[in-house]
Structure formats: C-alpha cells, structure tokens
Structure 1
C-alpha cells in the first residue's frame, strides 16, 4: 500500500506548477528501482515455488488445508478453549482415535473431525501416490504442536512469561548453550 501511495503522491506532485523537477525525477527513479527489486523477488519466489513441484500437483491443495487447520487449531487454543477442554483435545489428537471425539465439547468435535478427516485424506493420497505410510510421523507432528499450544495456553492462563530458552525448548529447539 505504501508503494501505491507513493505512486499517487508522485503523480499528484508532478501536476503542481511549483514542482521541483529534480526532486520529482529522484522520486520516480527511487520508485522504479524499488519496483524492479520487488519484481525480481517475485520472480525468484515464483521460480522457487515452481521448482518445488507443488504448483503441479495436489501438494499445493494439501499445504493450503494444513495451513488452514493450523490456524483453526491455534485459535481453539488461544481463544475458545478452557484448560480442561484443551487437555481433552490434546489427548484426542495424541490418541488419533475418532472415537475420542465423544469426550470433546461440541465445538471441539467439529474441529477434531475436520483435522482427523483432512489429515487422513492427505495420508491416503500420499500412500496411494507415493506408496509411503507417513501416519506415525504426521500424527506425532500434530500431537507435538497441540502439546506446545497447550503449554502456551497454560502459561497464558497462569500469566507466566516464559524465558526465551523455555519457549525454544517447548518447540523442540536447543538453546545452543545460551545462558539466561
């Protein structure tokens, strides 16, 4: 938006009778240089996306679904769930059992089933197309993420601010010997 606003300002300023032509030329030059940089960045990113191969297959759709699910599950932890409910949800994800939906509050049932069905659909496609069963890895990743979201919810509930090292450790990062 700032670049669009700059373009409008340059246009408006160029129509003024008292416009400083040198300043106007510098503004246009700066604008064009930034545009070239942004276009190169876009080309590089587009090339990277194409080279990854996700633009030509179902992976792009799967990634979109996963991103939407992560956002939704994060909202459940950050906004909607009580600690008790979040513990139930985390447990359900850890067990990866569709029958565990029965112990969840109604709004969490929908979220869990959306997660469960979408992930299993992607796992089915992967098994069918690649011949690889990634179920244990994917369910562990979702479980680990939910445990991290639960820990963040506990910290928030207790009005606790974790140290940098605690936060990194919760997400599985080593602190490389840093001390607090």
Structure 2
C-alpha cells in the first residue's frame, strides 16, 4: 500500500484563519471535506487520514507555525515511513497570479519561510510542492500585511472553484504522478 503525506502550510490561531498565507490549510480542508473524515489534533498538527484507490493519504496541517513547518513534516514522514517522493507540500506563492496552480518536484524556497524551514530540516530541495498563487498586489514594504491579510471579495467569490481544482490536482498527484499532474494543472 502506498502512503502519501500531504502537508498544507499555514499558521494556527483564529487571527490567521482565512488569510492568504493559510491557503495550504484551506486546500487541505477542501480535500478532506469532500470525504467523510475530519482533522483531529495529533502530534505537531491536525491530521486526517483517508484512502483513495488503494493509496493512503495522511493530510497534515502543522501546528508549528509556518516558519517551523519542517519539524512536523519530518516527524510524520518518519512516523509513517513515507518516502520523500510521496511528500507534497501545499503552500501560497506571491510570484504567481491569484488562483494559478503550479506543481514542482524540486526547487528553491522562493523566499517562502515555510519551504525554507522544510528544506533545512529535510536537508534537500528535492520534494514536491504545490503552489497556489496569491498574487502580489501590495505596495513596497507591504508584503507581510498582504500575505497575512484576508482575501478580497473578488478572490473569495472565485475561491470555491479554485479550491476544488486544487483538490483535483492533489488527487492527480497521488493517482497519476507528477508528470501528468504538471501537464494537466500547471498554469490553470
């Protein structure tokens, strides 16, 4: 049986709910919410587990805050004996227009502190990451407020379709692999 760790990055706490930086949590809520399982508090985060056509998905929303995501990711990889190629980290990306999806199998952290911590803790840049574009509509020096800000009304109106498309991409990653998923979903 193949196991996959799907780690959606975000920050815990009510003040961060519904912010751009928490899109990883929102996407995992969509993915898990389409089934009958729910997230439960567990070691270093909230975890939901379900099966998809013979594969086991362990969905993790780290409780370590964005900048320390690596500790939770490493713990669950080791605990569940999941190979690195079956890790998918779901995160926001300032460098992509709002709602644009991009799967990559390796690369730099792109200035993202959550990815930076994961790379430092795992000691590699070779793991899959699924980026959700949040755009960069902020004035010079306003990056932190923008990233930790709430979605605009226009963004909120298109979010249900974007979340559903993101969940489809994650299922494709698990069932069809990276190449097919990248060809089907990247840039959409």
TM-score, structure 2 normalization? 0.22
Greater share of residues in strand: 2
| Larger proportion of helix | 1
Choose 1 or 2 for highest CA Rg: 1
TM-score (norm 1): 0.23
Relative contact order (alpha carbons < 8 A, sep ≥ 6): 1 or 2 greater? 2
